[in-house]
Amino acid sequence: MGRILVAYCGRDALAPFIRSLTAFALASMFLALALPSLALCQDSVGYDQVKEILRKRCLTCHNPDERRGDLDLKDLAAIKSGSASGAVVVAGDSSASLLYTTVAHLEDPVMPPNSPRLPAREQDIIRRWIEGGLAEKSGTPSASSEMKVAGAAGGVDTAVIGKEETENARAQTSNRPYAPIRSLPQLTAIKAMDAHPSKDLVAIAGLRQAVLVEPTTSKLLGALDVEGNVTALRFSRDGKLLLVGVSQPAMSGTVIAFDVESGERLWQVGDETDSILGMDLSIDGKSLAVGGPTKTVRLYDIKTGEVTHSLKKHTDWILDVCFSPDGLLLASGDRFGGIFIWDPKSGTVFQNLKDHIGAVHALVWDHSSETLISGGEDGILRTWNLHHGDLSSRWDAEVGAILAIARSSDAIAVTGRKNALAVWSSPEVCAGRFNLGDQGEVLARTADDRSWVVSDASGQMTILSSKDLVLQSTIQLPTDTSSIDKLLARVDAEHATYVASKVELDAGKLDVSPKIPAVASADASTNSSVLTSNQALSSNQALSIRLAASKEMIDQLQKSLQASNQSLASLATLNSDLIKLVKQSSQIQAQLADQVVEQANQLEQLQSRTQELEAALTQPTRLPATTR
């Protein structure tokens, strides 16, 4: 703020003026100048800030694949185009913009539906963006300061921590192609893995990293840092690139390509609204296919980054996507059991393969591109003839639900929920089996078919000889539980500070008004006043955010209480109805009992009559006497 004051008057011109004033006059001038300056310098908000809020809160329902209310909020152009009902943002007027009034619950229908209002901070960012004219970029770098203050008030900002860790790691290893491997906070299942086509190299998903492993030596070579969860990995056919699918569930998904030799980022393609669960790069390296919870396979042009085709036939999450080795076809499998074969050039369906029951977790092509191998939740391994779209063979893979498949030149390996890996030399001919410590999650074969690499749910990688399944080695990513302890301690400390401040504020003991100290000397007093006022304003800002969060929590609890009361009333009504039904049932039961008694009496009468008839039949017949 000292710089703000100097900007108004200039330091040299201000000094003699300050010396002629009393402490009271200086304090008055400071408040008159510094506080309006603070308002004038408030960060301008751009779409780059609003985008993250919309992805987190709105894109599940308002995206290109599911335009509820005919509204797409994926990008700035779509927002400005509005919906079928008209514009949703009016530059400079938040009160006339449905995007703000609905999320602030000022107008029906409120958004998100059946949910509490957005946090006050997020509402304010949307409002300021609209009133600022729908700018594309934030006006100043300090726009992120609000996020940091909110993080300090509400918990730990793991994104900021991750960024700091990445920058520190790069600074320490500027002369190395790979970054140091981050320790996991606990043992975690590895959910993505792929093997290099020609080198002794395997990539696995780590903590916001793609970790590179040399399986034959069990050496962890290093990692490639990313900003998000690694949900998919794929080496290019020529082995020059490693593609890393980076995702934030229900928010975003993108693919980053790294040069395998140098570890350098080469390009980034894809702007998905949810996680990337399956991806593959075409053999010519020009087209990228991705799939996930959006139920749409999207094809991106690597050069332009534009979507060339959106393939929409799946009815559930897409779990795997892979190009045929010749690049002519693209296969995709979903969580409902659907498998589609596409022509990637035209974007049309080539074949629809139907036989799976349950999710299709893995798809693998043979070398000739004529046969597709599939496996999924039903535990049946299938091979398909792509000339006719027919099922060639199917058999129980003996690993439970199949979660991963890998293929060598002469065998198929599968792993699944029954804690085992099985290798099949041909349909129904098992060449070997290896028991794992937990269910198998991901699987790959190394270059030259030397080894199978499988990782189970405990996060342990097991390297097996491809010839006889002899255990060669095991590998596990480093773990450090102290990081969790530190985060928990930090959260506890922040929570304790908030609770103490709230108690003092409720009791009227906490003074949050700005304090301007007496001036002892010209320059020193100016700096002191600026610093103290700055701290007070920062304190006010933090308290305001915390109180807003507290009010939102109270609103949520009140709504929850209302819902509970409504549920209790419904239960009371239901209970009354049940009592009536019980009474009616009792009456019916009594009537049935009377009928049973009556029928029993009738049965006794019939039995008695039957006995009489039988007795009459057993007596000899007496003929009347004759007269002569």
- Per residue in 339-357, pLDDT (tens digit) is 999 999 999 999 999 999 9
Q: What is the pLDDT of residue 162?
A: 44
Higher pLDDT: 31 or 492? It is 492
Q: What is the pLDDT of residue 132?
A: 83
Domains of the chain by residue range? 1-41+499-543, 44-139
Q: What is the pLDDT of residue 173?
A: 39
Residue in 306, 308, 341, 302 with CA at minimum distance from that of residue 323:
341
Q: What is the pLDDT of residue 176?
A: 57
d(CA 452, CA 442): 11
pLDDT tens per residue across span 600-616: 778 878 877 887 787 77
Q: What is the pLDDT of residue 98?
A: 80
CA angle centred on 187, ends 186 and 189, rounded to 5°: 130
Alpha-carbon Rg for the chain in angstroms = 36
46: Cβ contacts below 8 Å, ≥ 6 apart: 129, 135, 136, 137, 138, 139, 143
| Side-chain-side CA neighbours of residue 367 (13 Å) | 7
Averaged pLDDT for residues 66-82 = 78
Averaged pLDDT for residues 509-521 = 50
Q: What is the pLDDT of residue 560?
A: 67
pLDDT at residue 327 is higher than 80: yes
Q: What is the pLDDT of residue 161?
A: 37
Q: What is the pLDDT of residue 307?
A: 95
| Alpha-carbon distances of 461 from 197, 421, 464, rounded to whole Å | 19, 12, 10
Given a contact cutoff of 8 angstroms between Cβ atoms, the answer to whether 119 and 147 are in contact is no
Higher pLDDT: 45 or 451? It is 451
Q: What is the pLDDT of residue 44?
A: 79
Query: What end-to-end distance do the CA atoms of the chain give, in Å?
Result: 153
d(CA 311, CA 285): 19
pLDDT band at 369 (very low <50, low <70, confident <90, very high): very high
pLDDT tens per residue across span 438-487: 999 999 999 888 899 999 999 999 999 998 999 999 999 999 888 777 77
Work out whether strand 66-67 and strand 193-195 pair parallel, antiparallel, or are unpaired: unpaired
Select the highest-mean-pLDDT range: 165-174, 240-249, 520-529, 591-600: 240-249
Given a contact cutoff of 8 angstroms between Cβ atoms, the answer to whether 373 and 364 are in contact is yes
pLDDT at residue 407 is higher than 90: yes
Averaged pLDDT for residues 493-514 = 73
Is the torsion defined by CA of 478, 482, 485, 486 positive or negative?
Answer: negative
Q: What is the pLDDT of residue 41?
A: 45
d(CA 222, CA 191): 18
d(CA 234, CA 227): 18
Q: What is the pLDDT of residue 543?
A: 61
Q: What is the pLDDT of residue 223?
A: 97
pLDDT at residue 516 is higher than 60: no
Q: What is the pLDDT of residue 499?
A: 82
Return the bridge partners of 451, or none. Answer: 465
Averaged pLDDT for residues 100-112 = 81
Select the highest-mean-pLDDT range: 155-159, 284-288, 622-626: 284-288
Residue in 351, 352, 349, 391 with CA at minimum distance from that of residue 371:
391
pLDDT tens per residue across span 526-566: 444 444 444 444 555 556 666 666 666 676 666 766 676 67
Lowest mean pLDDT among 9-13, 71-75, 134-138, 544-548: 9-13
pLDDT at residue 124 is higher than 50: yes
Residue in 470, 446, 471, 476 with CA at minimum distance from that of residue 458:
476
Lowest mean pLDDT among 69-83, 273-287, 497-511, 570-584: 570-584
pLDDT at residue 1 is higher than 80: no
534: Cβ contacts below 8 Å, ≥ 6 apart: 1
pLDDT band at 510 (very low <50, low <70, confident <90, very high): low
| Mean per-residue pLDDT of the chain | 79
Per cent of the chain over pLDDT 90 is 44
φ, ψ of residue 589 to 5 degrees: the values are -65, -40
State CA 172 to chain mean position distance: 31
Q: What is the pLDDT of residue 548?
A: 66
d(CA 622, CA 619): 9
Higher pLDDT: 57 or 462? It is 462
